[in-house]
Amino acid sequence: MSKYTEDDLREELKTKEYEYGFYTDIESDKFPNGVNEDIVRAISKKKNEPEWMTEWRLEAFRVWEKMEEPEWANVHYKKPNFQDISYYSAPKKKPKLNSLDEVDPEMLATFEKLGISLLEQKRLANVAIDIVMDSVSVATTFKETLAEKGIIFMPISEAIQEHPELVRKYIGSVVPTTDNFYAALNSAVFSDGSFCYIPKGVRCPMELSTYFRINESGTGQFERTLVVADKGSYVSYLEGCTAPQRDENQLHAAVVELIALDDAEIKYSTVQNWFPGDAEGKGGVFNFVTKRGLCETNAKISWTQVETGSAVTWKYPSCILKGNNSVGEFYSIAVTNNFQQADTGTKMIHLGKNTKSTIISKGISAGKSQNSYRGLVQIGSRAENARNFSQCDSLLMGNECGAHTFPYIETKNKSAQIEHEATTSKIGEDQLFYCNQRGIDTEKAIALIVNGFSKEVLNKLPMEFAVEAQKLLEISLEGSVG
Amino acid sequence: MLKIENLHAQIEDKSILKGLNLEVKAGEIHAIMGPNGAGKSTLASVIAGKEEYEMTAGSMELNGEDISELAPEERAHAGVFLSFQYPVEIPGVTVTNFVKTSINESRKAQGLEDMPAKEMLQKIREKSELLEIDRKFLSRSLNEGFSGGEKKRNEIFQMAMLEPKLAILDETDSGLDIDALRIVSNGVNKLKSKDNAVIVITHYQRLLNYITPDFVHVLHDGKIVKTGDASLALELEAKGYDWIKEEVNG
Ligand SMILES: Nc1ncnc2c1ncn2[C@@H]1O[C@H](COP(=O)(O)OP(=O)(O)OP(=O)(O)O)[C@@H](O)[C@H]1O
Ligand SMILES: [Mg+2]
């Protein structure tokens, strides 16, 4: 009888390369390796920043110098040598290709699998787009629509020039420079990122996506994002893309700050698909991200993330529920395969009265990977009637991977209602045989089971993103069962 | 349709099927009865291609083709359907989505396009009516929290959707209430044609009042030790298995 054993699978997994990554030759004007006050000043100067910004960076740098890299996360890796990194490299124009025929066929196959539209494929592969559909003109119409509503959406480097009062008021207000090692480093040396401001009472008419910006200036390894939703406004923001992203920078330390003023709502969705390293666990991006949102009265922030990439992920999108009746949500799918390690979760800090938070975390581990959920629900003494519901589900594939949950609860108010549910399951032989018997092969069966498992989170993603994310899960787990 | 000769199968060095012969022709209904642990479900799993079971001797043909080396999904594509004694749960995957995937995967194997949504809906409507299934039920996660009877009815719904050539019903009757037994049996009868065949594994003659078998086999200790017509089932109901065991051993 034809047997597809665990050994075959293991073999297949080993030989399975990261077929989806791709390099782009970036000629860049690079700074010498290492970081010191002069480098920080030089970065600031290069970007023509005002004095206050330079000072802010320097202050962050001085704090960072005294900090230690955190070790509490359930991840093990060789610490980067921070003096061996170049902190400024302005990407020069990538070579423009004339048609998709010139693009690596494997990359196109991945785009195909992901169901990315032709236009988007061209944009991602840096193919010249015909005049009618030129990305610049798309972006321009897009910008005009936003401008009519008074919405500001631009690279943060430009915002520092054009809207210094807004940036200065809010940058570091949620994630202070002193917050943690990586956030401090990011504050000192951040390359660029996005800035977004939605005026009072405005509902942003489209999903704001970093797609639009990525092509104009490359995102760096120290990305900084700041989203401010003024009173009564609404915005849905998409970050990252399902397309594979290889980067020559091993270390990524981004900071995202969200500010939802009274009655505002921010929905922030991320798909993270950085190079995870090869089957032996060599290479891959270290992704150390600090994401935090602040909710004023009646405000709401929802974080939704699909994390499939990176060798090491350290990421806890959090909500500070400062205002009364504010709401924080965290929906996460984290997939680890081969030697990937993810330590991710959220912090819900309840300060206001009647604040409410929901945490749904789905961890999927395959290969020899380690997948940890780490969450903190903190109820302050003045947070009357705070409520939290947490659900952490883990799905294991094979016997060599690990799933861990570290839920922390700190309550200083007796009226709090906190519910926590956790499950761990395995894709069983019986489930697979059942699917096989119905004509569904093992690969497809895994995809089906994983999608079913992740459904509550997938449903939270904006429509087009959800379809791509679903396919991304399939690709990330191809050939991985035991 | 199905021809099994001298089938030996084992799991983890424990031999379970020990020289089993069975021939099922198109248009026929066969009942397999036998004491607990005789190897009935094992036979069903081996026909369906469950990989834990190792076929150590014998042959197994479907429509003249050796299927013993085929993967379970390939056997399914060739028209083998197994209604499980213990259907498994797949959380988050709706019955509809599962059936749709199942149908389209089989079509893909046959080089066909996905079934158009309209046709799919039409078929779902038709088959759920046949089996008197509330369509709300189809939006639930597959088998999750289903009652024993609901699980079985859902198996037959899938069978109705997939229209297999050879259907093996492993104790589909156990867990069904009296009405459900009638509804499900009616369904099976309606789906029966001269081109397909059904093997029903059961402990109870009751089911055979509804689904009349052409042959009744007794499986004991990994072999078919007796074959008769529908009246054999009545005899078993009255006398149990001891006399057969004695016949075999004596
Ligand atoms: N995975 C397994 N490991 C060890 N023994 C097994 C395994 N599967 C089946 N068996 C054994 O094989 C024998 C036949 O089991 P099988 O399930 O085929 O019986 P059955 O005739 O269907 O019984 P029932 O009427 O109770 O459903 C039993 O003794 C059972 O314990
Ligand atoms: Mg059985």
Range with lowest mean pLDDT among A304-318, A457-471, B166-180: A457-471
> What is the distance, to the nearest Å, from the Cα of residue B172 to the centroid of all Cα atoms in its chain?
8
* B223 occurs within a structural domain: yes
Q: How far apart are CA B207 and CA B173, in angstroms?
A: 7
pLDDT of the residue at A215: 36
pLDDT, tens digit, for every residue of A33-82?
888 998 899 889 888 999 999 999 999 999 999 999 888 888 888 888 88
Two tokens, residue A230: 């003024």
Separation between Cα atoms, residue B50 and residue B85, nearest integer Å: 14
What is the rounded CA–CA span in Å between residue A137 and residue A123? 13
In a domain, A2, yes or no: no
Q: Is B87 touching ligand 1 by the criterion CB < 6 Å?
A: no
What is the position in ligand 1's atom list of the atom closest to the CA of B52? Answer: 1
Q: So what's the pLDDT on residue A213?
A: 38
Number of domains in chain A: 1
Q: Which residue has the tokens 């060095």?
A: B13
Considering only residues A328 and A24, tell me which one the structure prediction assigns the higher pLDDT: A328
More confident: B167 or A81: B167
CA distance A417 to A399: 36
* Residue of chain A nearest B9, judged by CA positions: A1
Q: How many domains does chain B have?
A: 1
- Flag if B81 and A437 touch (Cβ within 8 Å): yes
Q: Judging by beta carbons within 10 Å of its beta carbon (0-12, 13-18, 19+), is residue B249 exposed, middle or buried? A: exposed
* Cα-Cα end-to-end distance for chain B: 34
pLDDT at residue A21, as a whole number:
30
pLDDT at residue A280, rounded to an integer: 78
Say which residue, B200 or A123, is predicted with more confidence: B200
Using N-to-C axis directions, what is the helix angle for A105-114 and A118-125, rounded to 10°? 140
A127: confidence class by pLDDT, cuts 50, 70, 90 = low
Domain encompassing residue B85:
2-184+202-249
* pLDDT number for residue A212: 45
In this structure, of A48-57, A237-246, B63-72, the range with the lowest mean pLDDT score is: A237-246
Q: Report the percent of chain B where pLDDT is more than 70.
A: 100
Return the exposure string of A386-412: e unless at least 16 CB atoms fall within 10 Å of the residue's CB, then b: bbbebebbbbbbbeebbbbbebeeebe
In 3D space, the residue among A227, A233, A222, A302 whose CA is nearest the CA of residue A262 turns out to be: A233
**Dist. CA B73–CA B75, nearest whole Å:** 5
Instruction: Tell me the mean pLDDT in the region A219-233.
Output: 88
Q: Are the C-beta atoms of residues A213 and A239 closer than 8 Å to each other?
A: no
User: Which ligand is located closest to the Cα atom of residue B35?
Assistant: 1
d(CA A482, CA A472): 20
Sign of CA dihedral A314, A315, A321, A326: negative
pLDDT value, residue A210: 61
Tokens of B53: 């079971």
The verdict on A466 touching B (C-beta cutoff 8 Å) is no
Residue A475 has pLDDT above 50, yes or no: yes
Residue A209, domain member (yes or no): yes
pLDDT recorded at residue A98? 67
Compute the distance between CA of residue A343 and CA of residue A403 in angstroms, rounded to an integer: 10
pLDDT for A466? 83
For chain A, give the percent of residues with pLDDT over 70: 78
Please state, in angstroms and as integers, the Cα–Cα distance from residue B39 to each residue in A428, B59, B228, following that order: 22, 17, 19
Which atom of ligand 1 is found nearest the CA of B53?
1
What's the pLDDT at A272?
84
Round to whole Å and give the CA distance between B173 and A482: 33
- Residue to test with chain B: of A8, A393, A435, most B Cβ within 10 A: A435
b (16+ CB within 10 A) / e for A353-376 = bbbbbbbbbbbbbbbbbbbbbbbb
Which of B47, B59, B101 to mutate: most A Cβ within 10 Å? B101
A482 domain-assigned: no
Spatial separation of the C-alpha atoms in residues B176 and B191, rounded to whole Å = 19
Residue B159 and residue B84: Cα distance in Å, rounded?
11
Tokens 């050994």 belong to residue: A7
**Among the ranges given (A71-80, A151-160, A427-436, B53-62), the one the predictor scored with the smallest mean pLDDT:** A71-80
Distance (Å) from the alpha carbon of B194 to chain A's nearest alpha carbon:
23
The single-letter DSSP state of residue A471 is H
Q: Is residue B46 part of a domain?
A: yes
* The pLDDT of residue B148 is above 80: yes
Nearest bound ligand to the CA of residue B85: 2
CA distance to partner chain A, nearest, from residue B228 (Å): 30
| Range with the poorest average pLDDT among A370-374, A470-474, B154-158 | A470-474
Size of interface A-B (CB pairs under 8 A): 89
Angle at A254 between CA A251 and CA A260, to 5 degrees: 170
Predicted confidence (pLDDT) at residue A373 exceeds the cutoff of 70: yes
Rounded mean pLDDT, B26-39: 95
Q: Is the pLDDT of residue A126 over 50?
A: yes
The answer to whether the Cβ–Cβ distance between B73 and A454 falls below 8 Å is: no
Alpha helices by DSSP H, A149-271: 156-162, 164-170, 181-189, 211-214
How far is residue B127's CA from residue B193's CA, in Å, rounded to a whole number? Answer: 16
Q: What is the pTM of this model?
A: 0.84
Q: What is the DSSP string of A414-468?
A: TT-EEEEEEEEEE--HHHHHHHHHTT--HHHHHHHHHHHHHHHHHTTS-HHHHHH
Q: Tell me if B26 sits within 8 A of B1, measured CB to CB.
A: yes
* Helix-helix angle B95-109:B117-130, to 10 degrees: 120
pLDDT of residue A160: 94
Q: What is the pLDDT of residue A4?
A: 45
Is A390 within 8 Å of A375 (Cβ atoms)?
A: yes
User: Any idea which of A197-201, A250-254, A277-281, B125-129 has the lowest mean pLDDT?
Assistant: A277-281
Q: Range with the lowest mean pLDDT among A218-232, B120-134, B137-151?
A: A218-232
* Close Cβ partners of A111 (under 8 Å, ≥ 6 residues apart): A120, A121, A124, A125, A243
Distance CA A367, CA A275 (A): 16
Least confident range from A110-124, A390-404, A458-472: namely A110-124
Residue A362 Cα, ligand 1 centroid: separation in angstroms?
35
Question: Which residues of B fall within a CB distance of 8 Å from A454?
Answer: 92
ipTM confidence: 0.97
| A388 touching B (Cβ < 8 Å) | no
The answer as to whether B55 is a domain residue is: yes
Res B62 pLDDT > 70:
yes
Nearest Cα neighbor of A276 from A17, A70, A479, A78 is: A17
Helix/strand/coil for A210: coil
- pLDDT number for residue A13: 36
- Tell me how crowded residue A444 is: count the other CB atoms within 10 A of its CB: 19
Determine the Cα–Cα distance for residues B154 and B73; give it in Å rounded to an integer.
20
Q: Which of B54, B69, B76 sits opposite A437 (nearest CB)?
A: B76
How far apart CA B97 and CA B163 sit, in angstroms, is 17
CATH number reported for the structural domain that contains residue B79 in this entry? 3.40.50.300
pLDDT of residue B197: 97
CB-CB neighbors (< 8 A) of A455 in chain B:
92
Integer Cα distance of A22 and A126 in angstroms: 12
At residue B90, what are phi and psi to the nearest 5 degrees? -125, 95
pLDDT at residue A11 greater than cutoff 60: no
Arithmetic mean of pLDDT, A422-443 = 94
pLDDT of residue A218: 41
For ligand 1, say whether the CB of B33 is within 6 Å of any of its atoms: no
CA-CA distance, A43 to A97, in Å (whole number)?
31
pLDDT in tens, A94-105: 556 667 777 666
Does the pLDDT of residue A214 top 60, yes or no? no
**Would you list the DSSP string of B152-214?**
HHHHHHHHHHH--SEEEEESTTTT--HHHHHHHHHHHHHH--TT-EEEEE-S-HHHHHHS--S
DSSP state of A97: B
Any chain B CB within 8 A of the CB of A408? Answer: no
Mode of pairing for the β-strands spanning A370-379 and B14-24? unpaired
Listed residue (A329, A368, A349, A323) closest to A461, CA to CA: A329
Ligand 1 pocket test, pick from B7, B11, B42 with the greatest ligand atom count within 8 Å of Cβ, gives: B42
Report the alpha-carbon distance of residue A472 to residue A299 in Å, rounded: 32
Residues of the domain holding A203: 20-477
Distance A430 CA to ligand 1 centre (A): 15
Q: From CA B102, how far away is CA B104, in angstroms rounded? A: 6
Residues of B in contact with A437 (CB under 8 A): 48-49, 72-73, 75-76, 80-82, 84
Nearest chain A residue (CA) to B67: A1
Looking up tokens 């054999």 gives B232
The two three-digit tokens of residue B150, written as one number: 């609901």
Q: What type of residue is B148?
A: G
Residues 6+ apart with CB under 8 A from B193: B27
